[in-house]
Structure 1
Amino acid sequence: MEVTTRLTWNDEIHLRKLLGNVSLSLLYKSSAHGDSIEAMLQRCSHQGCTVTMFYINCNIIVAFMLGDYSNLYENSAELNDSFWFSVQKKDDATEIETLLLNIAPQISDKELVGRSLKKDIFLIRLYNNTIYLTDVITKKLKLDFYGFKKYLECEVFRVEGFKDNLDYAKKIMKAGEHRNRLLAEIRDYKPYADLVPEIRILLVGPVGSGKSSFFNSVKSIFHGHVTCQAIVGSDVTSITEQYRIYSVKDGKNGKSLPFKLCDTMGLDETEGVGLCIGDIPHILKGCVPDRYQFNPHKPITPEHSTFITSPSLKDRIHCVAYVLNINSVDNLSSKMLAKFKKVHKEVLSCGIAHVALLTNVSNCSEVLQDNFLNMSRSVTSQSKVTIVNKMLGIPISNILMVGNYASDLELNPMNDILILSALRQMLRAADSFLEDLPFEETGAIVRVLQPCI
C-alpha cells in the first residue's frame, strides 16, 4: 500500500522554495512505519540532508538537518547543524518563520535531543508523539505554545538538490527572510510627497534584451508563481509592437502596487526598424497612451487621435531603465550605441532618473553577498558594469543585475532578491527625480493635497 504524506501541495511548494527549489521524497511516516527511533533510523539513515515535519493541528513545525541521521548518536564524531521553521495557516494565507540553530540534534535514550550548555533546547519523543521546544524557539517561530506538545504525525523527507554545506544553507535560509523584507518594503512604498499615485518606469533596450521578461518576473514574484502576461520571444525583430503600461497587483485579486512598468518596442540598429527614436520624447513627457501601435518609420504626432496633449505629472515617466543582456554589452554595434546615446540625451534633457538593468545573470546566488545588501562583483560582471558605466555615464550604484524568469517553472529566492532590489532602486531613483522637480511643477499639487485649515 502506498504511503502518502499529510503535506499539502501548497505547503510543499512553499518549503521547496524556502530551500532553493529542491525536491522532497518521503522516507518515513510515523503512523505507517512505527513510532520509534529505530523505525525512523531504518528508513532515514544514509539519505543525506533531510527535513523532519511535526504536524500540530493545521500548523507544521519543520526541522531541516544537514548531514545524515546515522550520525546522530551521542558518541558520534560528526555533528549536524539544523534549521527550524514553522508553517502556519492564518486567514487562508501561509506564513513561514525561520530559525537557525547551531545545535546538533542527537539520539539519547530513544529520544531526539538538542542541547545547549547542558540544557534541553528541543526534545522529540516518537514513542508518545510528543515534541518539546524551549520558549526561545517558540517565540522566534511565533508559535502559541512552549514546553511539551502532542503532534498528530511525524514525517521525514529526503532533500534532493541541496548542497550539503553550512554556509550555503545559511544563505538560503537568510534569503527567504530578506526577500520577505523587500516585498514588505515595496508593498508599503509611497511615491515622494504623494505627488503621483504611482511611479512610471520606462523599460528601453535592444530587441530580446529582457524588457518584457522583467515585467513578467516582477509580476510573478507578487503573484507567488511564474506568470507570463507580456509576450516575450527571441525573434530578430521586436515581439513588442505596442506601447504597454503595465500595473502589478499584489496577488491575483490584490490591490495595484504603486508603480507601473512601461514596455516599449525594442531598439534596432537598422533605421526604420524597431522603436522610432522620435517617439522617446513623447513617451517621456506622457503623451503616448497605453496600447499605442508603434510605427518604426515615424513617431507619434499631436495630430494622432490618441495623443495626450496635456499630460500631468502622473502621466510622465519618472525613471528610465536601460535594459541590456549582460552577455552582449561588450558587443553592441556602433549604430546601436549611437541610438542608445540619442535616447540617453533625451532622458538627460528631461532630467529624468535613470538606471541600467543587466539581465540574463546566470547564477544569482554568486552575485549576491552573504548579507544581501550589495552585489559582489565577479571579474566578469565587474567588466560588464564598467563598460555600461563608460558607455552611458550611469553611476555604478545604479547599474543593476537580474536573472529574469524566462524559462523557469518555479520562483527562486535568490532571483527574487535581485529583481526586487532592482525595482526598489528604480523607485528610489524616481523619488529623487520627484524631489528635485521645481516648485512651479509641484506646488499646485502639494497645495491640493494639503487639508484646508
Structure 2
Amino acid sequence: MAVTTTLTWNEERSFQKLLGNVSLRLLYKSSVHGRSTVEMQNRCRCQGPIVTVIYHSNSIFGVFTLGHSSDMSESFTEPNASFFFSLQKNETMEMKTVVLNSTVTFYRNNLTFCFSSYYNQKLSLNFEESRIYIPRIFEEELIVKSHAKSTFLECEVFRVEGIKDEAGYINRITRAIQHRNSLLADVRAYSPYADLVSEIRILLLGPVGSGKSSFFNSVKSIFQGHLTRQAIVGSDVTSITEQYRIYSIKDGKNGQSLPFMLCDSMGLDEKEGVGLCVDDIPHILKGCVPDRYEFSPQKPITPKHPTFITSPSLKDRIHCVAYVFDINSMDNLSSKMVAKLKQIQKEVINCGVAQVALLTKVNNCNEVLQDNFLKMNKAMISQSQIQNVNKILGIPLSRILVVDNYASEREMDPVKDILILSALKQMFRATDDFLEDLPLE
C-alpha cells in the first residue's frame, strides 16, 4: 500500500514553489514508519537535499537542508545550508522563512536542529513523547505558537528532486520570500498622508495592450494568495476595456479593503476617434466620472450626463497617474502616440496629480533586481526603454517602475511579487508627495 503525504495539494505546491518548482518524494512518515530517529535515518540517508515537515496545531513548519545524512549511527552531526520555514493555514497560505545554517543531531530518539547563527537556538523533536520545542525567536518571526508541553501531530521527510545543488541558489530563494513578505507588510501598513483620504486612487493610463488590466489582476492576486482574473484582458488591436472601473483591493477573500484603489481606463490609440478620448481625462482626474461609466471614443462625458459627479470631493479625485507601457514596444511608439501622451500629461500637470511610469512585460524578472532585491541593476536602468520614458515624459528614473504581470502563469512567483509590490510602494510615495503639497484649504 502506497504511503501518502498529509500535505494538501496546495500546501505541497507552496513548498515546491519555495524551492524553485521542484518535485517532492516522500521518504519517511512517522505515523506509518514508526516514531524512531533510527528508522528516519535508514530511510533518508544519502538522499541529497531533504525537507523535514512537522505538523503542529494550526501551522506546518520544518527545515530544508541542502546536505544529507550519510551515517547510520545513532548520533551524528553534519553542517548544512538550510532554512527554517512555516506555512500558515489561512486563506493566503502565507509562507514565512528564516535563512540559517544548521547542525542536525540524532540522539536517543531525539531530532535536533541547532542554529549557530541564533546563539545555539535549537528546534528539537522527542519522538517517544511526540514533544516539540520551538525557540521563542522562531515563534516571533514565523508566527508559530508553542509551549513546554507542545506536541506534534506528524513528521514527514521528503527528498527534493530537481533542485540546483547550490547553497547560493537556496539563499536567493529564501531572501526573495523574506523581501516579498516585508514589502507585503509595508503595503498593508500604508496610510495616506495626514489621513486626508482613507483610500488613494491610482489611474492606469496607457496604449492598448500595455498591461493596465493585467496589473490590477496581478496586484489582486498577491493579496488573494492565488491567481485571479477579475479584469478582462486581451491582445486585440482595439481596447478590451470599454468601461471606467474603480477597483478596490481586499486583503484576503473576506478581508478588509486596503487603502488604495486602481482605476482602469480604456486604452489609448494613436488614431483620433479611437480609444480613450483625451477630453475625458480632465473629468477622470477631477473625480467626475463614476465607476462603470461606458466610454465613447467620439463623445466625451459632459456635466449633462446623468451619472456625472458634479461636486467631487478629494476622495473622488485621482491622486496618482501611472502611465503604463509594454517595455517591448516602448522604442517603437509612433509620433502620434507620443503627441497624445504629451497632451494628456499637460492635463495631469494642470491638475497637479502625481505621476509615475510603469513598464510591463519584462522578460526576466531575475535580471532586473540586484541580489539584495533592494535596487534595480544598473544595466536595467540604462536600457533604452527606460531612457525613452524619461525623455518623453520627463519622469525621474526613480519613478519609472518595471514589472512583469501575471498572464499565463498558474503559480505565484516571489520575484514577480517583489517588483509589483515595489511599484505600489513608489506609487504611494508619489501620492503622499501630492497630498502633502495640497493647499491648506
TM-score, normalization: structure 1?
A: 0.85
The answer to whether the Cα contact below 8 Å between 2:74 and 2:108 also exists between their aligned partners in 1 is no
Q: State the distance in 2 between where 1:10 and 1:73 align.
A: 36
Alignment partner, residue 406 of structure 2: 405
Indicate the larger mover: 242-251 or 230-239. Answer: 242-251
Alignment partner, residue 102 of structure 1: 101
Q: 1:118-267 maps to which residues of 2 (within 5 A)?
A: 121-123=122-124, 137=138, 140-141=141-142, 143-145=144-146, 151-160=152-161, 162-267=163-268
Alignment partner, residue 12 of structure 2: 12
Q: State the distance in 2 between where 1:276 and 1:359 align.
A: 23
In structure 2, the gaps of 5 or more residues are: none
The answer to whether the Cα contact below 8 Å between 1:35 and 1:128 also exists between their aligned partners in 2 is no
**Against the structure 1 CA distance between its residues 190 and 128, is the aligned structure 2 distance closer, same or farther, given a 3 Å change threshold?**
closer
The answer to whether the Cα contact below 8 Å between 1:138 and 1:146 also exists between their aligned partners in 2 is no
Alignment partner, residue 26 of structure 1: 26
Alignment partner, residue 343 of structure 2: 342
The answer to whether the Cα contact below 8 Å between 1:48 and 1:68 also exists between their aligned partners in 2 is yes
Which string of whole-angstrom CA distances, capped at 9 and with x for unpartnered residues, describes residues 199-245 of structure 1? 11110111111000001111111111110111000111110111111
Q: State the distance in 1 between where 2:146 and 2:245 align.
A: 51
Which string of whole-angstrom CA distances, capped at 9 and with x for unpartnered residues, describes residues 35-57 of structure 1? 44554455445544321112234
The answer to whether the Cα contact below 8 Å between 1:112 and 1:125 also exists between their aligned partners in 2 is yes
The answer to whether the Cα contact below 8 Å between 1:37 and 1:111 also exists between their aligned partners in 2 is yes
Q: State the distance in 1 between where 2:115 and 2:260 align.
A: 48
Indicate the larger mover: 252-261 or 369-378. Answer: 369-378
Q: State the distance in 1 between where 2:229 and 2:179 align.
A: 25
Q: State the distance in 1 between where 2:124 and 2:304 align.
A: 76
Q: State the distance in 1 between where 2:191 and 2:133 align.
A: 44
CA shift for structure 1 position 143: 4.5
Alignment-mate amino acid for residue 228 of structure 1: R
Q: State the distance in 2 between where 1:151 and 1:77 align.
A: 23
Alignment-mate amino acid for residue 7 of structure 1: L
Q: State the distance in 1 between where 2:249 and 2:281 align.
A: 23
Q: State the distance in 2 between where 1:422 and 1:403 align.
A: 11
Indicate the larger mover: 184-193 or 65-74. Answer: 65-74
Indicate the larger mover: 427-436 or 123-132. Answer: 123-132
- Does 2:59 align with 1:54? no
Q: State the distance in 1 between where 2:115 and 2:231 align.
A: 53
Alignment-mate amino acid for residue 418 of structure 2: I
Q: What's the secondary structure of 2:405's corresponding residue? A: coil
The answer to whether the Cα contact below 8 Å between 2:92 and 2:223 also exists between their aligned partners in 1 is no
Alignment-mate amino acid for residue 384 of structure 1: Q
Residues matched between the structures, number = 439
Q: 1:363-402 maps to which residues of 2 (within 5 A)?
A: 363-379=364-380, 382-402=383-403
- Does 2:100 align with 1:83? no
Alignment partner, residue 437 of structure 1: 438
Q: State the distance in 2 between where 1:280 and 1:71 align.
A: 71
CA shift for structure 1 position 132: 5.4
CA shift for structure 1 position 174: 2.6
The answer to whether the Cα contact below 8 Å between 1:72 and 1:107 also exists between their aligned partners in 2 is no
CA shift for structure 1 position 18: 3.9
- Does 2:417 align with 1:427? no
The answer to whether the Cα contact below 8 Å between 2:41 and 2:72 also exists between their aligned partners in 1 is no
TM-score, normalization: structure 2?
A: 0.88
Q: State the distance in 1 between where 2:233 and 2:111 align.
A: 51
Q: State the distance in 2 between where 1:120 and 1:196 align.
A: 46
Q: State the distance in 1 between where 2:88 and 2:245 align.
A: 39
Alignment partner, residue 64 of structure 1: 64
Alignment-mate amino acid for residue 248 of structure 1: I
Q: What's the secondary structure of 1:81's corresponding residue? A: strand
CA shift for structure 1 position 63: 0.6
Which string of whole-angstrom CA distances, capped at 9 and with x for unpartnered residues, describes residues 149-191 of structure 1? 6533221123345433222322322332322232222223222
Q: State the distance in 2 between where 1:73 and 1:338 align.
A: 76
Indicate the larger mover: 190-199 or 8-17. Answer: 8-17
Q: State the distance in 2 between where 1:69 and 1:156 align.
A: 12
CA shift for structure 1 position 99: 2.4
CA shift for structure 1 position 398: 0.2
**Against the structure 1 CA distance between its residues 196 and 85, is the aligned structure 2 distance closer, same or farther, given a 3 Å change threshold?**
same
Identity %: 62
CA shift for structure 1 position 69: 4.1
User: CA RMSD for the aligned pairs?
Assistant: 3.2
The answer to whether the Cα contact below 8 Å between 1:114 and 1:123 also exists between their aligned partners in 2 is yes
Q: State the distance in 2 between where 1:251 and 1:114 align.
A: 34
The answer to whether the Cα contact below 8 Å between 2:51 and 2:65 also exists between their aligned partners in 1 is yes
Q: What's the secondary structure of 1:168's corresponding residue? A: helix
Alignment partner, residue 294 of structure 2: 293
Q: State the distance in 2 between where 1:181 and 1:57 align.
A: 25
Indicate the larger mover: 263-272 or 221-230. Answer: 263-272
Which string of whole-angstrom CA distances, capped at 9 and with x for unpartnered residues, describes residues 295-346 of structure 1? 1223222222222222222221110000011111111122221211111121
Q: State the distance in 2 between where 1:292 and 1:132 align.
A: 58
Q: State the distance in 2 between where 1:380 and 1:28 align.
A: 48
Indicate the larger mover: 40-49 or 237-246. Answer: 40-49
Alignment-mate amino acid for residue 60 of structure 1: I
The answer to whether the Cα contact below 8 Å between 1:72 and 1:105 also exists between their aligned partners in 2 is no
In structure 1, the gaps of 5 or more residues are: 444-453
**Against the structure 1 CA distance between its residues 231 and 134, is the aligned structure 2 distance closer, same or farther, given a 3 Å change threshold?**
closer
CA shift for structure 1 position 389: 1.0
